[in-house]
Structure 1
């Protein structure tokens, strides 16, 4: 179901958003597996950064400490799924396949590298160690790859 420029624009928008949500869900499955494998290898504990970010952005009261991991997981799945929408919208510009996925990857990675330091949840990327940057970049690449491949498969590209 490739997008046709002569098609109804609202139908195109709806399809791009819907397929984007499905591809974002697939990307979230992939990044979650990637993070679980990495945590097992590095002995890293699950992050509560998602709930910490939402608490700051929405200026809401923090939840009980014993619920932070659970709520962080819910935010992680929601945030990751929603990030599929921009992948769909990129296709409406005429960009498809690997170039669209590369742009999506750059947007996701760039957002993480700027948003978290602005919220004081991570040091600026210039002050992070290369291993941390590499791990985060790998996880985002896994997400963008899975999301892009899913989008292209559904869209018939």
Structure 2
């Protein structure tokens, strides 16, 4: 017997899948940033700690504490953005269109929030290479989170599977 989920159940389901997708996206952007920093010799960003100082008045006492706080905020922030991917999934968007909406929300927010908290200059004052690198990192996040979300979302697979089966039946490959 198939039961219909209620709206709160669907929301909770989307949030849970979104959190897992956010963890995967954060892992992906972290790896992307580590590879880029190796190539460009760039030091890790202090933006998470700068925002934390503004918002919570946290003041790490040394470099090790600063790195620890930065990583904790980076992972919490990226994981939390997975909830937005879950909400996008509730709209029915899937695949690249959903990843594009999620990407725009995440990267757009960072372009507004970081300058507001004096953690980065406004995008109009950044060089093209820095903007491009940041965009690539955020795209990696959104694509990884989207891939994981869609993989966890059964309704997405059922929809795709039903389309494939329907096409095979229409072509006479499968019997009705």
| Counterpart in the other structure of 1:9 | 7
In structure 1, distance between residues paired with 2:101 and 2:75: 21
| Counterpart in the other structure of 1:64 | 61
Q: TM-score, normalised by structure 2?
A: 0.82
- Runs (4+) of structure 1 exceeding 3 A deviation are none
| Counterpart in the other structure of 1:26 | 24
Q: TM-score, normalised by structure 1?
A: 0.92
Shift of 1:51: 1.4
CA RMSD of aligned residues (A): 1.1
Evaluate the alpha carbon distance shift between residue 61 and residue 28 of structure 1 in structure 2; reply closer, same or farther with a 3 A threshold: closer
Which sections of structure 1, spanning at least 5 residues, go unmatched?
1-5
Which structure has the larger Rg over C-alpha atoms? Answer: 2
Which sections of structure 2, spanning at least 5 residues, go unmatched?
157-176
| Counterpart in the other structure of 1:134 | 132
Contact 1:102–1:144, Cα closer than 8 Å, also in 2: yes
In structure 2, distance between residues paired with 1:116 and 1:109: 11
- 1:33-92 superposed Cα distances (whole Å, 9 cap, x missing partner): 00000010011111221011111022x141113210111011111111111000001111
Stretch moving more, 61-70 or 15-24: 61-70
| Counterpart in the other structure of 1:84 | 82
Number of residues of Structure 1 aligned to a counterpart in Structure 2: 151
In structure 1, distance between residues paired with 2:96 and 2:49: 32
Say which structure, 1 or 2, has more relative contact order (CA 8 Å, 6+ apart). 1
Shift of 1:131: 0.5
- 1:104-123 superposed Cα distances (whole Å, 9 cap, x missing partner): 00001101111111111211
Contact 2:46–2:119, Cα closer than 8 Å, also in 1: no
